[in-house]
Chains A and B, each alone.
Chain A
Amino acid sequence: MARVYQVPRHAMLWMMLAVILAGLPHVITGPAWLGGLLVGAVLWRWLIHRGRLRMPRRAVRLALLGAMVGGIFYHFGTLFGPTAGVSLLVGAFALKLLELFRLRDAYVVIVLGYFVLATTFLHQRGALAALYVLVVLAVVTAALIGINQPESGGRARDHIKLAGVMLLQSLPLTVLLFLIMPRIAPLWSMEADESRARTGMSDSMAPGEVSDLSQSDELAFRVTFEDEAPPRAQRYWRGMTYTRFDGRRWRQGGLGESWRTRDLFFPGRGSPPQWWEQWRDQRARPTYTYQVVMEPSRRRWLYALAVPFSETEDVGVARDFRLLREKEIDSTFAYRVTSYPEMPRDYRLTERQRQRNLQLPAGFNPRTRARAEQWRSDAATDQAYIQRILDWLGREQFYYTLQPPELGRNTVDEFLFDTRRGFCEHYASALTFMLRAVDIPARVVAGYHGGEANPLGDHLRVRQRDAHAWVEAWLPGQGWVRFDPTAAVAPSRIEYGLDRALEEQGSQGAGGVLDNLDQLPLILQMGYLSDYVEFAWYKWVLGYDQGARLELLTDWLGKVNPVRVGLALTAGLVIIVLPLAAWILLQRRAPGLSVWQREYWRMLDLLRGEGMRVHPGVAPRDLVERVARRNPSAAEALQTWSRDYERLVYGPHPGDRAAQQRLRRERRVVRRALRRR
């Protein structure tokens, strides 16, 4: 088969690099063999390029294509959906290299390259991913430049340089469009990674689950406080309340239709219910205002300090002081909250609420039940009773550990009387049980506690390992009061965090020796830095949504309407493009023409305008001869001009301003003579 492709050889390097680099991020999300296909196709193509192999025949190419499509279907069970679709695209993209005959095919590869590159953002949206895409963008552009150069005279190094310059030049426009162009909601919803499970708090809690979560270093959310942050011990980030207990597992209760209409309120939608108006009237200092940037959790619950008020769109508040969002949080989400930790919470409890918070399954944990009833009858008040339990937990040999032993049917009994080793969920569960057993309404609250301050970004970083569970009890005259049995067992968990608590309890953290590496100053600093970069990236780039855009435009333009936005866009374009264009033009003309040189060209233009054929090499005197043949009187005037011109420009005494003006007048005489004819 004859080699008929006309892709310049110097463009090949960038083409192949572009294919590998653009495909690479998808190898992580797609099937692993996609990486092999990518590298194999590029290698094959390279050998063809070096003349070692021939282009594969049509049958071979078809077989490869079939195998690739089959492989994708086998791996995903479908060819549709974003992940399978992108994998299919990457596979086809790699195979296209093997039928790169003509320039046209090269264009297909490059356009596909841009598209595949854009799909990177389906899965990765971080600052690093953006940087990577930018670099690969330069490579793909270099390939595009390369195939537009002739076979001879192009150098691969120059292509990437030009591509880099072009990207840099396009940057100001990119920023402008990013700031001003309206954000259009996607036309179809893309569930990018439906298959990937997320670590995090779930709708229910069984003994051992929170301790599992505590082994993860993954980020849960970040918080920036507007003013002062509350002390560490006070940072209870409430997420879910568990009210239903089945003897083993605590669940969120009553999320039905009646709850939705009665106990849930989205500020700004409809009239507020009575309970919320009551809250609003009882608000009291101190207040904490902060922004939470939450990682995708695939759940609706938001985390906040009690008692939260939020005006962020789509954020509702439930009667048990939870915040939640209308939709699941499937991408990074930011919301603002103002919390009033000291305000009273629900002096009156409805009967329905009371029932719900007293529910206990019959026939479980008889020993605990007996102990509770006995202690309650000993105590004068509910308060004294609770205090006794907490004192007991602190005094007796209870251990705070990440590796609690398995529990059988009566989880609370076994924990309190036999194993005595547990994580926060064991203590919270036990305390709630003991309260409910003596008719004190109580519930388990799950969320996070604490958070590590990042000095660089001035923000708090709350990770999965900060997961925590505690108890809220309703006391007459006080409303809901928070009790943290973990604080009684391991006070340092609350004061200093998990690591310190585990250390004091004599058990190592999950990472063993490696855990201590985190504390090296350099690694600590690097951790802070990468955390800060990611946070800033979200804050300034990903978080710049329609709302932020309108806010910014309102700041700039006053009122936001299409005409003003259009004008701002145009003005921005002009401001960016004009200096660039002027600069390019000046570069071309440098060094600038002198007055005399311009004068000469004006004369040439004049003669050409009168229909004379004058080549650029003509000297002043020749002009006279040429004109003389057609128009003697004009030739006479031209003679004067050319004599003066010669003397002024080439003579030993250069002309001054007066001479310039005289010359200009003489040119006008020539023009009049020419036109008179």
Chain B
Amino acid sequence: MSKALRQSLSSVAGVVLGKEEQVRLAVACLLARGHLLIEDLPGVGKTTLAQTLARVFSLQYGRVQFTSDMLPADILGVSVYDPDNREFHLKEGPIFTQLLLADEINRTTPKTQSALLEAMEERQVTLDGVTRPLPDPFFVVATQNPVTQTGTFPLPESQLDRFLMRISLGYPAPEMERELLAGGDRREAAEQLEGVLQPQDLVKLSRAVEKVHVSADLVDYVQRILEYSRACGEFVSGLSPRAGLGLLRAARAWAVLDGRDYVIPEDVQAVLGPVCEHRLQPVAGGSALGAGQQLLEAVPVVRGS
């Protein structure tokens, strides 16, 4: 692993205290060119994590706070009539940025949520029949409050599927929390953070990720995971082929973070929960284990009798 990458990891971890695992997953998600969904209670550092990531990778950063009265134009932009030139100009919305923090995405209506769809998948925006590319790289880091809280609209499955990973932060460990309380404002710390990598470096790194070797045995393992999720009867519907591709991409990124040029089953297992859990809806009365843990324990790493 390049020195810069290791340094950027520790920089982020220095701001978001006690969350090495989640930080690593978030970086892997970016390396895999995937969008990230952070689900947790308000005030555990979701926004800080997103902001820190943007700083470390020197990404242009835009933030949209989603509310229930928001319209798609508030995100994508709007055509404005220019009386001087007698023509319409596009006034670009906040989405035209490298890293978009979509805060509390489930507070807005499905209509506005779906405005993000094309942007996330195609990395382009179509307004008034004109298609405009988004900057490269382009990431969406969305945060959402637990669906059980009041005033939330659950994200549709189609949109959930477009996030490569969903992670949750959780409360920090006691000593970390003490350290956090003793230290200054985290947001300030994030803002003061120097950029370690340039956006071009990120693009280069994600190209390297795509070259990581995946053996036939590993593809077989991933395929059996998909098959099991469809056949086991624990989930309403199984994993899609897109989920499988995402799983492989995330596992490759994880291998890069581990300094390897080939993927091993542990890489798959490390990203399995974050990649799969938001795509699988357990059937009523199913297992108490998380979806990721279930798949991990039930599917043999190596094909056998």
Contacts and interface: CB of A to CB of B under 8 A. Distances in A.
A601 B304 contact: yes
Interface in B270-305: 295-305
A573 to B, nearest CB: 27
A505 B296 CA distance: 98
A651 B215 contact: yes
B293 to A, nearest CB: 9
Given A620-B265, A650-B263, A593 B298 contact: no
A654 B301 CA distance: 18
Contacts of B299: 616-617
B217 A646 contact: no
A634 to B, nearest CB: 20
A622 B213 contact: no
Contacts of A616: 297-301, 304
A596 B218 CA distance: 12
Contacts of A649: 215, 217
Contact of B217 (A597, A615, A647): A597
Nearest to B217: A649
A600 B302 CA distance: 7
Interface string A628-649: 0000000000000000001101
B302 to A, nearest CB: 4
B74 interface: no
Interface string A641-668: 0000011011110100000000000000
Contacts of B218: 650
B114 to A, nearest CB: 36
A652 B213 contact: yes
B213 A651 contact: yes
Nearest to B218: A650
Nearest to A591: B303
Most chain A Cβ neighbours within 10 Å, of B262, B263, B295: B262
B41 interface: no
A597 B302 contact: yes
Interface in A562-608: 589, 593-594, 596-597, 600-601
Contacts of A647: 262
B294 to A, nearest CB: 9
B269 interface: yes
Interface in A164-193: none
Counting contact residues on chain A (CB < 8 A from B), the size range is 20 to 34
A621 interface: yes
A619 B262 CA distance: 15
A520 interface: no
A650 B215 contact: yes
A646 B301 CA distance: 12
Contacts of B305: 589, 593, 601
A612 B302 CA distance: 18
Contacts of B298: 615-617
Nearest to A600: B302
Contacts of A63: none
A594 B297 CA distance: 22
A615 B299 CA distance: 9
Contacts of A589: 305
Contacts of A596: 217, 302
Given A649-B217, A651-B215, A600 B301 contact: yes
B217 A619 contact: no
Contacts of B301: 600, 616-620
A617 B217 contact: no
A597 B262 CA distance: 18
A543 to B, nearest CB: 50
B304 A593 contact: yes
A123 to B, nearest CB: 52
B177 to A, nearest CB: 28
A398 to B, nearest CB: 90
A618 B261 CA distance: 22
B24 to A, nearest CB: 16
A617 B304 CA distance: 11
Contacts of A620: 264-266, 301
A298 B300 CA distance: 73
Nearest to A646: B264
B265 A600 contact: no
A597 B221 CA distance: 12
A652 B261 contact: yes
Given A596-B217, A617-B298, A650 B265 contact: yes
Contacts of A618: 301
B301 to A, nearest CB: 5
Contacts of A622: 266
A596 B265 CA distance: 14
Interface string B241-277: 0000000000000000000011111100100000000
Given A650-B218, A650-B263, A617 B300 contact: yes
A562 to B, nearest CB: 42
A617 B269 CA distance: 9
Nearest to B220: A597
B300 A619 contact: no
Interface string B91-126: 000000000000000000000000000000000000
Nearest to B228: A617
A225 B264 CA distance: 79
A450 B297 CA distance: 84
B198 to A, nearest CB: 29
Contacts of B303: 593, 597
Contacts of A621: 264, 266
Contact of A615 (B215, B297, B302, B304): B297
Contacts of B297: 615-617
Nearest to A598: B304
B262 A651 contact: yes
Given A649-B215, A650-B217, A619 B304 contact: no
Given A600-B302, A616-B297, 6 more contacts: A593-B305, A616-B300, A617-B295, A649-B217, A650-B218, A651-B215
29 contacts: A589-B305, A593-B303, A593-B305, A594-B217, A596-B217, A597-B302, A597-B303, A597-B304, A600-B301, A600-B304, A601-B302, A616-B297, A616-B299, A616-B301, A616-B304, A617-B300, A617-B301, A619-B264, A619-B265, A619-B266, A620-B264, A620-B265, A621-B266, A622-B266, A649-B217, A650-B217, A650-B218, A651-B262, A652-B261
Interface of B: 213, 215, 217-218, 261-266, 269, 295-305
